[in-house]
Structure 1
Amino acid sequence: MKQLDIGVAGAGTAGLAAALFLSRAGHRVEILERFETPAPVGSGLLMQPTGLTVLNALGLFDTIHAIGSRIDRLHGADASGRTVLDVRYDAAPGGRYGLAVQRAALFNTLLDAAVADGIRIRTGIDLASTGMRGDRAVLSDAEGVVGDYDLVIDASGARSMLAAKAAAAPSIRDLTYGAFWATLDDHGAAYDKSAQSQRYDKAKVMIGVLPTGRIRRGEPERVAFFWSLKVADVEAVKAAGLDRWKAIISNYWRDCVPFLDQIEDWDQLTLARYAHRTALPPFSDRLVFIGDSAHSTSPQLGQGANMALLDAAALSHALARCADIPSALAAYARARRNHVRLFQLLSLAFTPFYQSDSTAIAWVRDRLVSTVAKIPPMPGLLASIVAGTVLDPFEPAGLTECKWQEDLSLLRGMA
């Protein structure tokens, strides 16, 4: 395809990755960001083998690996401390693992690469709408036109104004449960540094600890702490007081006290809200959606940032192998359709087991499901679900999965 003028709305994970892929493919790319200074939102996240493979294709694997924290399993226990969830990556062949990172670390890694590549980033532009002028896509803010392009990539997130006004605008279903997140020092706390650890009380309470490594080399390692709750209950929880909230959590999980002691104000906690939405098709004229602008769901399987990176790779691959933009957008939609739909379905299916008012479902999770999960081939299947590889996401996106043992050995040699 000829060189294109491409505007990317949003300097988040999806937008920065797409800009890197497409700029390196020879297109003229600029990013439009609504904040005056681009910055990450959120605490920590778990990079799966899918997202790590995309970063490897961008030449960023060693950078992110040097500051992340390797995760080998997901472990959950009930209020008594009895294990009810134990998913290990090595239960499936291939040597896969997860890498927990601070959102700021992933953001900095992508932003530094974009700056090094000379990609233009325009800030303080709050996009309001898009339209067509001939065969060019026009972006506007409240004051008028801010740019016109051969193609606009909407990577501005689940509350995208561009997606909301598009012909393919999806309906948004806000989910009942959200979560408080905080990034904290470990202060000698007792926790498994190779696991995402969780504690449950039925399905109404979920507390989690995720080692997230460093923001940059040489900085101290930190931990993401989260507590799930109904969004409608947030103000009541705050009104009851911070000490009351800390006491509830420490009663469930005494090992969390060193983390709780660092929280002195509600402002240290970020409330994450979740929604289910799907743009079908994920494009409209010369506007294409990636990341949360295209699809979002509950966070139970930890796939959000990884799906966004796969979208960026798949879109770049489609533009590289198709003769025109309409064909490329259709190819992108086909490449991501089955993988996105499957993981949205799986995330919704898992949600009631961990975030709901149902006592019966939690009983089934703690007794029946936890038993079945130990019987082959379930351990391997669960490992593939968590890794995001139960359906092959790599070939449709033009990617070759990392050779995990070889890449890890190489990194150890470099260290």
Structure 2
Amino acid sequence: MRPLNIGIAGAGPAGLAAALMLSRQGHRVEILERFAEASPVGSGLMLQPTGLTVLNALGLLQPMLALGSRIHRLYGADAKSGRTVLDVRYDALAGGRFGLAVQRAALFNTLHDAVVAADLPVRTGVTLSDVRMAGDKAVLLDEGAREAGAYDLVIDASGARSTLSAGSTVAPKVRELTYGAFWATLDSDGLVHDPHALVQRYDQAKVMIGILPAGRARVGEKERVAFFWSLRVTDADAVRQAGLDRWKARIRDYWPDCAPLLDQITDWEQLTLARYAHRTMRPPVSGRIAFVGDSAHSTSPQLGQGANMALLDVAALSHALETAGDLDAALAAHAAARRNHVALFQLLSLLFTPFYQSDATALAWLRDRLVATVARTPPMQALLASIVSGTLVDPFKPAGLAECDWPAIGTRPQRLSVGPSKAVSA
């Protein structure tokens, strides 16, 4: 295929990764970002073996390993009884896979630094409102309906609230999820925690508190953790009005080990309220527009797949453009390559979320007494590990990727260390 002129909407991880991959194939790329300065949004996230494999293809795995915290276990317990509710270990699968918990700033910085080093153009302060076809060109329009650029292909990587996605002919129905979360990135000084585990506490499905070791934003900085508290989005204002002290007292009652984190929070402005929606665009293409990441599919973060799915989308699109004979064939191949994997994990997320974030008392009871027991029996341990890893169905071959050789890059499971005096109860 001849080199294409490609406009990429959004300078988040998906947009930056797309610019890197496609420019290396010889395409001309330009990123358009609505903020005056491209910057990360959010607290912490999990990079699964899927996303790590894409970063390895970009030559950025080692920089991310230097910043993130390797995660070998996802553990959750009932806050009142201490009963184990969730215990998923990556080593239930052969091959040495693991997760990598990172600050969103670390992922952004690593990708953005690579984009700057490659001297790829990023236009900031451009708010896009629509795209229209003019002959064989996709023309992006800004909020004043002025032309922002004409391209052979537009890649929409502008996120779940994308105006381009919402205005397309294949715009999906959006189901706003009842539960969101307060998030903060905090210092881990004095915190007793397992640095290689995502640990959560639950009260039925109405309360979920989590601590995710998140590494450093840049080499040389302090390691930090992502702290989150799940709640109904409609209750957020009432929680704020009741005051920080009351909120923090409630968390201390559930989980006293959180005290060093809570002591750092002195203002609601330190907490970000994340809202989630379930939406799936089928197919993730419309004319000369390809939708990747949350603009194509979004859901609850319960399975920790969001950024990884976006990176896989980018890899699949890049592979399709490299191997197809023309642009229309490439877009069709991209849609086909991602269809099964996206559909499966969107469904799994939709099914799992009510067990951990909902008002359903019966589901929480079932989770605590039946699901947790079943999860400890073979082959369910390996099945859950493959779900968390994002590899329940093969996402690599359709995207033209070879999964990392984990042992060869020194990723065998390590002996877990603990905090200052003891590991958090697990």
TM-score of the superposition, structure 1-length normalised? 0.98
Letter in 2 for 1:20: L
Q: Secondary structure at the match of 1:198?
A: strand
The residue aligned with 1:402 is 404
Q: Secondary structure at the match of 1:227?
A: strand
Distance across 1 between alignment mates of 2:57 and 2:338: 18
Q: Secondary structure at the match of 1:236?
A: helix
Deviation at 1:81, TM superposition (A): 2.0
Q: Does 1:381 align with 2:383?
A: yes
The residue aligned with 1:201 is 203
Query: Quick one: which of 225, 246, 249 aligns to 2:251?
Result: 249
Q: Secondary structure at the match of 1:401?
A: coil
The residue aligned with 2:45 is 45
Q: Does 1:31 align with 2:28?
A: no
The residue aligned with 1:83 is 84
Deviation string 1:246-289 (CA, Å, 9 cap, x unpaired) is: 00010000000110000000000001000011111111110110
Query: Quick one: which of 118, 143, 159 aligns to 2:161?
Result: 159
Q: Does 1:5 align with 2:13?
A: no
Structure 1: unaligned runs, 5 residues or longer: none
The residue aligned with 2:423 is none
Distance across 2 between alignment mates of 1:407 and 1:339: 26
Task: Say whether the 8 Å CA contact 2:97–2:411 is kept in structure 1.
Answer: no
The residue aligned with 1:222 is 224
The residue aligned with 2:70 is 70
Query: Quick one: which of 261, 272, 291 aligns to 2:263?
Result: 261
Letter in 2 for 1:145: E
Q: Does 1:100 align with 2:113?
A: no
Identity of counterpart residues, as a percentage?
A: 70
RMSD: 1.0
Deviation at 1:158, TM superposition (A): 0.5
Letter in 2 for 1:276: H
Q: Secondary structure at the match of 2:191?
A: coil
The residue aligned with 1:318 is 320
Q: Secondary structure at the match of 1:75?
A: strand
The residue aligned with 2:212 is 210
Q: Secondary structure at the match of 1:217?
A: coil
Q: Secondary structure at the match of 1:128?
A: strand
For residues 224-239 of structure 1, what are the structure 2 equivalents within 5 Å? Answer: 224-239=226-241
Deviation at 1:21, TM superposition (A): 0.5
The residue aligned with 1:286 is 288
Letter in 2 for 1:168: V
Letter in 1 for 2:135: G
Q: Secondary structure at the match of 2:344?
A: helix
The residue aligned with 2:419 is none
Letter in 1 for 2:4: L
Deviation string 1:336-374 (CA, Å, 9 cap, x unpaired) is: 000000000000110111011111111111111111111
Deviation string 1:205-224 (CA, Å, 9 cap, x unpaired) is: 00000000000111000000
Distance across 1 between alignment mates of 2:376 and 2:147: 58
4+ residue stretches of structure 1 with deviation over 3 A? none
Distance across 1 between alignment mates of 2:303 and 2:104: 17
Letter in 2 for 1:59: G
Distance across 2 between alignment mates of 1:374 and 1:99: 23
Structure 2: unaligned runs, 5 residues or longer: 415-426
Distance across 2 between alignment mates of 1:93 and 1:335: 25
Distance across 1 between alignment mates of 2:360 and 2:282: 32
Q: Secondary structure at the match of 1:111?
A: helix
Query: Quick one: which of 147, 150, 153 aligns to 1:148?
Result: 150
Deviates more, 1:353-362 or 1:103-112: 353-362
Distance across 1 between alignment mates of 2:205 and 2:85: 12
Deviation string 1:292-325 (CA, Å, 9 cap, x unpaired) is: 0000011110000000000000000000001111
The residue aligned with 1:327 is 329
Q: Does 1:110 align with 2:111?
A: yes
Deviation at 1:142, TM superposition (A): 2.5
Deviates more, 1:360-369 or 1:378-387: 360-369
Task: Say whether the 8 Å CA contact 2:212–2:225 is kept in structure 1.
Answer: yes
Q: Secondary structure at the match of 2:282?
A: coil
Deviation at 1:82, TM superposition (A): 2.1
The residue aligned with 1:336 is 338
Distance across 2 between alignment mates of 1:81 and 1:214: 31
Distance across 1 between alignment mates of 2:396 and 2:55: 12
Deviation string 1:15-52 (CA, Å, 9 cap, x unpaired) is: 11111100000000000000010011100001000000
Distance across 2 between alignment mates of 1:32 and 1:177: 31
Deviation at 1:409, TM superposition (A): 6.0
